[in-house]
């Protein structure tokens, strides 16, 4: 479950941001803090932190600095930090702390939505688990985001990645079960990764490396619906 921490000394802003996060990401877990010290003392791990800057005691910049420097033991990963502040003069200090984004109050909700979903997408890539496959002679692991497409080859399949092609004993149906919703069966012989699509028409799909795959005529409408839904969900 995605975990989001919100730190702001304004109770109204805290509540407002919490409601926005729950609206955009209903399944996320949200924790709220009034001060940077309170967040640090929590020892809680977060995927994303929404951080105010001007606060009493430890301000937002120092809070993030201590998180980045591992001054406080107990944090096992480095979260994506989105600063949300009324002051524009700290943007370069925020960038020095590898902030994901710097947003100004009053908050533009449309921009916030785009930034938050982009941060979620980035978190997903960072925490993506590799899948284990095996050939006749060895076992190997592949991160799904590196797969361009998968090709059926009789009782075997060929997994095409950005750097190589590996043949394994498996069926397309088995791989459809193991892979997530970014992979689509565009033809009985192909599973395509939506992330790697450059363009398409009614007969074919071109991938980022220039490969052209056949798009089955009877799957065109379903493909377009699935692809547009994927884009809307991941690239707002």
CATH class of 131-234: mainly beta
pLDDT of the residue at 1: 76
In CATH, what number does 3-126 get?
A: 3.40.50.2300
pLDDT of the residue at 69: 76
Please determine, for residue 74, whether its predicted confidence score (pLDDT) is greater than 60: no
On average, the pLDDT of the chain sits at 89
Sheet holding 29-33, edge to edge: 29-33, 3-7, 48-51, 80-85, 101-104
pLDDT of the residue at 164: 87
Range with lowest mean pLDDT among 72-76, 100-104, 112-116, 154-158: 72-76
pLDDT of the residue at 142: 85
Answer yes or no: are the C-beta atoms of 156 and 167 closer than 8 Å: yes
**Residue 226 is inside which H or E element, if any?**
helix 220-234
Give domain limits for the chain.
3-126, 131-234
How distant, in Å, are the alpha carbons of 40, 144, 196, 200, 220 from that of 193?
39, 9, 6, 13, 16
Using 50, 70 and 90 to split pLDDT, how confident is the model at 180? Answer: confident
Confirm whether 3-126 and 131-234 share one CATH topology. Answer: no
| Whole-angstrom distance, CA of residue 143 vs CA of residue 132 | 9
Q: At what angle do helices 109-126 and 220-234 cross, to 10 degrees?
A: 100
Using 50, 70 and 90 to split pLDDT, how confident is the model at 77? Answer: low
């Amino acid at each position: 479950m995605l975990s989001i921490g919100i730190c702001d000394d304004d109770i109204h802003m805290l509540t407002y941001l919490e409601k926005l996060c729950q609206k955009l990401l209903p399944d996320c877990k949200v924790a709220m803090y009034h001060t940077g010290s309170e967040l640090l003392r929590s020892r809680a791990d977060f995927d994303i932190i929404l951080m105010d800057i001007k606060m009493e005691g430890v301000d937002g910049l120092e809070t993030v600095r201590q998180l980045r420097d591992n001054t406080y033991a107990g944090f096992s990963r480095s979260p994506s930090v989105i600063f949300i502040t009324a002051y524009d003069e700290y943007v370069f200090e925020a960038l020095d702390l590898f902030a994901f984004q710097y947003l100004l109050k009053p908050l533009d909700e449309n921009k916030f939505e785009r930034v938050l979903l982009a941060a979620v997408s980035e978190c997903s890539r960072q925490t993506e688990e590799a899948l284990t496959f095996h050939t006749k002679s060895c076992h190997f692991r592949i991160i799904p985001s590196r797969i361009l497409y998968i090709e059926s080859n009789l009782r075997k399949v060929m997994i095409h990645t950005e750097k190589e092609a590996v043949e394994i004993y498996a069926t397309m149906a088995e791989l459809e079960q193991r892979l997530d919703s970014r992979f689509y069966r565009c033809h009985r012989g192909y599973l395509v990764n939506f992330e790697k699509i450059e363009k398409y028409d009614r007969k074919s799909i071109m991938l980022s490396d220039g490969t052209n795959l056949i798009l089955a005529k009877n799957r065109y409408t379903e493909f377009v619906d699935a692809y547009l839904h994927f884009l809307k969900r991941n690239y707002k």
